[in-house]
Amino acid sequence: MTVPRFWREIPQRYNLIGSKCGSCGTVDFPPRTICPHCRRKSIGKMEDIKLSGKGEIVSYSIVREAPEGFEIQVPYAMALIKLDDGPTLTAQIVDCELEEVKIGARVEAVFRRIQEESKSGVIYYGYKFQLAMPQVK
């Protein structure tokens, strides 16, 4: 990752800004320039939409052999999360016991450090998810 590459996607990574097709209403994340359903009809009709950050685990895996920069975090849970707004995304599940990560579990977005360029480099923040705190309405 490099600084400009990261900076360009800040709205998506910090605030889950997706896109909504003005033609068919399909919501995509990350935002798309063209709706995969309407294609030409969607040109100029794609609007930004802020996603709720709430969703459900579709599937998951516990990473024990990590990519560079993630080694110290192992074992950690990566999951496919189907957001209530429609799209599915890939994110880490944090702040729970790994046994609590289950298909169908309700989760919500949190804001965390994802990577850093180096010890002296820029810190890349973004979304991770945690199990929904049940007592909170």
Partner 1 sequence: MRDVAVIGVGMTKFGELWEQSLRDLITEAGMKAIADANLSGSDIDGAYVGTMSAGKFVGQEHIAPLVVDMAGLSNTHIPAVRVEAGDASGSVAFREAYLAVASGAHELVIAGGVEKMTDVSSSQMVNIQSTSCDQEWEAFFGASMSSLYGMMARAHMHRYGTTREQLAAVAVKNHANGVLNPNARFKFPIKPEDVLKAGMVADPLTTYDCAPASDGAAAVILCSMERARKFTDKPIRIAASVQASDTIALHDRRDICTMDSVVLAAKKAYAQAGITAEKVNLAEVHDAYTIGEIMAIEDLGFAEKGKGGIAAASGETALTGRIPINTSGGMKARGHPLGATGIAQIIEIVDQLKGRAGGRQVKDAKFGLAQSVGGTGATAVVNILEGGL
Partner 2 sequence: MECGIVSYGAYIPRHRISVKEIARIWNEDGDGLSKGLNVIEKSIPGFDEDTATISVAAARNALVRCSVNPKDIGAVYVGSESHPYAVKPTGTILAEAIGATPNSMVADLEFACKAGTAGMQMCMGLVKSGMIKYGLAVGADTSQGAPMDPLEYTASAGGAAFIIGAENVIAKINKTLSFTTDTPDFWRREGQTYPRHGGRFTGEPAYFRHITSCAKMLFEAAGTKPTDYQYAIFHQPNGAFPSKVGKTLGFTPEQLKPGLIVPYIGNTYSGAVPVGLSAVLDVANPGERIFVVSYGSGAGSDGFDITVTDEILKLRRDAAPSVKQYVDRKKNVDYAIYAKMRGKIRMAGE
List all residues 6 or more positions away from 54 whose beta carbon is below 8 Å from its beta carbon: 83, 84, 106, 107, 108, 109, 132
* Residue 121 binds partner 1 (CB under 8 A): no
57, 117 Cβ separation under 8 angstroms? no
CB of 67 to partner 2, least distance (A): 15
Determine the interface stretch with partner 2 among 9-17, 25-33, 54-62, 83-91 (rule: CB under 8 A).
9-17
- Among residues 64 and 137, whose Cβ is nearest to partner 1? 64
* Residue 58 binds partner 1 (CB under 8 A): yes
Phi, psi dihedral angles at 87 (to 5 degrees): -70, 160
Helix and strand numbers, DSSP H then E, in the chain: 2, 8
* Residue 122 binds partner 1 (CB under 8 A): no
Query: Rounded distance, CA 40 to CA 44, Å?
Result: 9
Binding site for partner 1 (CB under 8 A): 1, 5, 9, 30, 58-68, 70-71, 73, 75-76, 78-81, 87-92, 103, 114-115, 124, 126-128
